[in-house]
Structure 1
Amino acid sequence: MAISVPHPGHSESDSAAVLGKAVVRVAERLAINGDTLSRVLGISPSSASRLAAGTYSLNPSRKEWDLALLFVRLFRSLDSIVGSDEAARTWMRSENLALRDMPANLITHIQGLVHVVDYLDTHRGRI
């Protein structure tokens, strides 16, 4: 299943709804729980719970928006490399010698999320 992201020209509320749904689907597919998702996006656990329920909208003027876009980009890159949700979940929870940690641990910090996305983008370019 494809994960869609907002496109220019959509209203802010439409874009927020699309990105919010994409983030929730990525978290489900990677088996990322609400507490971890809240750390990835820099929002409270209750906001992450409301996001999953569809009652919280990501704000395009806050860092949560950019982090959400990176999180979806991470999944899209990883999915293009490994090809299945199970393999993606395994990769996220396996020690990675190049990254020097499990990607699931790294993505809970901005620098780690950016580093994992860059790593995946570099490897995706080889395919």
Structure 2
Amino acid sequence: MQKQSAPSPADRASVLGQAVSEVARRLHIGPTDLGQIIGVSQPTASRLLKGESHLRASTKEWELSTFVVRLYRSLFSLVGGDDNLARGWLHSPNQAFPGQRPIDLIKRVDGLIHVCEYLDAYRARV
């Protein structure tokens, strides 16, 4: 049996970039919002969504992108894989966040972490 080598940093960056782009596509998060969420400029977010740019490991945008993927995975589980329900939840005011929309909260680091923790805790109840 051959031992598989660990993925290279470039491979990891490519996979995370593709994952964040797919999450953004599924949840209708445009480049302006995505840039605000992961801490990059709108043009950089646009290039990332088009696959023309990659995330750099060990950076703020890298770490925030992992939270975006975590958010989607938790939400996906809670809505039974229905992206329409996931989009509706993300873009609608929510009583759990004093009437604020999660999409607006996740544009701040503390909001992104809070929403992820909320979804993880809610998912644990299921």
TM-score by length of 1: 0.91
Out of 69, 76, 81, the residue aligned to residue 79 of structure 1 is: 76
**Partner residue in 2 for 1:19:** 16
Deviation at 1:98, TM superposition (A): 1.5
Instruction: Indicate yes or no: 2:93 matched with 1:98.
Output: no
**Partner residue in 2 for 1:119:** 118
Counterpart CA distance in 2 for 1:109 and 1:23 is 17
Deviation at 1:99, TM superposition (A): 1.4
Percent of aligned positions with the same letter in both sequences? 46
**Partner residue in 2 for 1:64:** 61
* 5+ long unaligned stretches in structure 1: 1-7
Tell me how large the CA RMSD over aligned residues is: 1.1
Runs of 4+ in 1 over 6 A off after TM superposition: none
Deviation at 1:118, TM superposition (A): 0.3
Counterpart CA distance in 2 for 1:47 and 1:121 is 29
Letter in 1 for 2:20: V
Instruction: Indicate yes or no: 2:44 matched with 1:54.
Output: no
The C-alpha deviation readout for 1:15-67, integer Å capped at 9, x for no partner, is 00000000000000000111000001100111101111212110112110110
**Partner residue in 2 for 1:110:** 109
Residues 39-48 or 55-64, more deviating:
55-64
Deviation at 1:95, TM superposition (A): 1.1
**Partner residue in 2 for 1:3:** none
Letter in 2 for 1:122: A
TM-score by length of 2: 0.92
Letter in 1 for 2:74: S
Query: How many aligned positions are there?
Result: 120
Larger Rg: 2
* 5+ long unaligned stretches in structure 2: none
Counterpart CA distance in 2 for 1:14 and 1:124 is 30
Counterpart CA distance in 1 for 2:123 and 2:7 is 29
